[in-house]
Structure 1
Amino acid sequence: MRETTVEDVLGLFCTSASARERFEGWKTDPRRVEVAPLVLAHRTRVLYLIAEEDIEGVCRDTEHALGQVNRADGESVREIVDWHPDFAFTHTFHTCVERIGAVPTYQQFREFALHDADGQRMLGNPSKETIRRVVEAGCPQRYAQAAMRWRIGNAYYGFLREVYTLVQLRLCGIELSVHPLADALFRVDAWIGRCALSLRVGNRKFRQGVDGRKIRPEQLLADLLPPLQFDTIELEAATTFGQVHVPTAVHLDQVAARLLGT
C-alpha cells in the first residue's frame, strides 16, 4: 500500500537551516505537546485509495457544512474568525480519514469531532471551550455558535477541495503526495517530485496572487537546495452558497500539463 510518512516530508522540505529551525520550533512548542507525537506518527494511506466516485459522492451527499449561517453572522466574532486550535484543521481531517477509512461527510466528521477521543481533543473540546470563553466575554451564544460553524465548515470544504484535486490529477497520471505536516508547517497542499502545489481560493484578506497576509510556501522554502519548483491552482471566489467549490476541468488540465512538463 502506498503511504507518505513524516520522513518523506522532512526529507524534501526540511533541508535548509531555516526549515529545520521552523520544524524544531514547532516540535518543541509547549502548545504542541500533544500535537507533535500524533502528527509525527501519521501515515497517509487512505487518501491514495479514494476513487473519483467516492469524492464526488461525498461532495454531493454531505450535509451543508455551513448550515443556515450567513456570512455576516459567520464573520461577526473576531476571536473565532481567526481561531486556530493547537491541532491544525488539516491534522484533524487527515486523522479522521485514516480512522474511518474514507473521506467523511460533514456529519461523519462532526461525529468524529464530538465522540471520538482523538477528535474530541483535537477539535471538539477546543471549539466548545472557545465558544464558552467568547460567550462569557459578552458575545451572544447564537453568534458564537454561528461563527464556529462558519469557521469549521469552510475549513471542511477546503479539505474536500484538496482531496478532489488529488483524485482528479491522479486520473491524469499525476501521483501527488500529501501529509498534514507539509500542509500545516510548510503550507504545501501536495507535491510530486520536487514540485510543490498550492490550492487556494482568491481572497485578498488572506492570500491572493502575491498579495495577502498568509506566508506562501515559496517564501518558507526559498532557500532549499536543490531548489523546489512551485505551482498554484487559484480559484475565483465561490458564487454558489453551500456547494463544494472545486477546480474546473480547465484548471485541472492546465496544472496537469505544467506538472507533467516538470
Structure 2
Amino acid sequence: MTTAMEVRRLFNVTQETRFHFNHWYSRRKHVVAHVMAHESVAVHRITADEVEAACRSAPRPGPTDVPEIRDWRPDFAFTHVAHHVVEALGRLPGWPEFREFCEADEQARGMLWTPAREVIAEVGPEGRAALRNRVVSDFLGFLRDVYVLAVLRGHGLDVRVHPLADTVFKVDAWVERLILNPRGGGQRSADLLVHAMPPFFFTDLGVTEFTQVGPALLPSRGQLDRAARRLRDVLHPE
C-alpha cells in the first residue's frame, strides 16, 4: 500500500516542493481531501495482460477540436478519476465498465460524469463527441502508464504510483529514490526535486519502439524488459 502521507514525507522535502504542495493544499478542499485519503493498492497488482485486455476494449478516439473541450480543466484531473476507479473496483476495468462505473459511482460521478455533462450543456451537441474522445484518449494514456508500471513490477521492481505524486510533485512513478517517467522525454519533477538531500535520481527508460494493442500504442515489451534489467542492476548490484 502507498498512502498520500508516505508520498508527502518522501517528496515534500525541498523549498520548491513545499511551496508547490502548500499552494495546492490551500485551494480546492474537496480535491485535497480525496487525494490525501487515497491509498494505492490495486493499481500495484495490475498485470501487463490485464492492461492489454483493457486496451482492446476501448474505442478508437477521434478529434477533440472543440476549444472548450480541449481546454476543459475540471477540478479532478483524470488521473484522480482513474486511480479512484481502480481502487474502488479492486482491479483494472475495461472501457465499458469504466464508463458505467463513472456514471453509477457517486464519487466518480462527481469527479467526471457531472462536470462532463455540465460542459456539454454549455458547449452544445458538438461538444459531446469531442468530450467522449478526450476521455477515451485520457483513458488510453492511463493504460499506457500502467502498462509500464505492470511490466517493471513483474520484474520484481517495487515501482510505486500515487495521484498525489503525479499531480502535485510531478512524479509519474518511482522506485526507492529513482524517479521514472513512463511517458518518455524530460522529467517533470526535476526542477522540484533537484535540491533534495539525500538526492533523487532520474532515469529514462529508453523506450523508442511501440506496439499497437487495440487503439493504444504501448511501449515495446522487449525494451521495457531490458529497461527493467538495467534498473535492477542499478538498484541491486551483485
Deviations 1:158-189 (A, max 9, x none): 11112211111112121201111111112212
Judge conservation of contact 1:200–1:234 (CA < 8 Å) in 2: no
| Structure 2 match to 1:16 | 14
From 9, 31, 34, the counterpart of 1:35:
31
Query: Is the alpha carbon distance of 1:190 and 1:122 closer, same or farther for their aligned partners in structure 2, counting shifts above 3 Å?
Result: same
From 115, 129, 134, the counterpart of 1:126:
115
Deviation at 1:16, TM superposition (A): 0.9
Residues in 1 aligned to 2:68 and 2:229: alpha-carbon distance in whole angstroms: 41
| Structure 2 match to 1:172 | 155
Judge conservation of contact 1:238–1:245 (CA < 8 Å) in 2: yes
Judge conservation of contact 1:65–1:106 (CA < 8 Å) in 2: no
From 200, 203, 215, the counterpart of 1:243:
215
Query: Is the alpha carbon distance of 1:53 and 1:242 closer, same or farther for their aligned partners in structure 2, counting shifts above 3 Å?
Result: closer
- Segments of structure 2 that go 5 or more residues without pairing to the other structure are none
Residues in 1 aligned to 2:180 and 2:102: alpha-carbon distance in whole angstroms: 28
* Correspondence list, 1:1-262, <5 A: 3-29=1-27, 32-60=28-56, 62-64=57-59, 66=61, 69=62, 74-135=63-124, 141-142=125-126, 144-200=127-183, 209-210=185-186, 216-233=188-205, 243-260=215-232, 261-262=234-235
SS in 1 for 2:76: coil
Judge conservation of contact 2:206–2:227 (CA < 8 Å) in 1: no
Residues in 1 aligned to 2:12 and 2:107: alpha-carbon distance in whole angstroms: 27
Deviation at 1:86, TM superposition (A): 0.7
Judge conservation of contact 2:181–2:203 (CA < 8 Å) in 1: yes
Aligned residues: 234
Residues in 2 aligned to 1:238 and 1:168: alpha-carbon distance in whole angstroms: 14
182-191 or 74-83, which moves further after superposition?
74-83
Judge conservation of contact 1:178–1:190 (CA < 8 Å) in 2: yes
| Structure 1 counterpart of 2:13, one-letter code | T
Residues in 1 aligned to 2:168 and 2:204: alpha-carbon distance in whole angstroms: 17
| Structure 2 match to 1:206 | none
Deviations 1:22-68 (A, max 9, x none): 11111111xx22111111000111122223433332233x13152xx
Query: Is the alpha carbon distance of 1:235 and 1:84 closer, same or farther for their aligned partners in structure 2, counting shifts above 3 Å?
Result: farther
Residues in 2 aligned to 1:133 and 1:181: alpha-carbon distance in whole angstroms: 30
Normalising by the residue count of structure 1, what TM-score does the alignment of the two structures yield? Answer: 0.82
Deviations 1:98-127 (A, max 9, x none): 111110111111112222110111000111
SS in 2 for 1:34: helix
Query: Is the alpha carbon distance of 1:99 and 1:163 closer, same or farther for their aligned partners in structure 2, counting shifts above 3 Å?
Result: same
% identity of equivalent residues? 38
Judge conservation of contact 2:58–2:136 (CA < 8 Å) in 1: no
Deviation at 1:146, TM superposition (A): 2.0
- Segments of structure 1 that go 5 or more residues without pairing to the other structure are 136-140, 202-208
| Structure 1 counterpart of 2:109, one-letter code | Q
Deviation at 1:8, TM superposition (A): 1.5
What's the RMSD between the two structures over aligned residues? Answer: 2.2
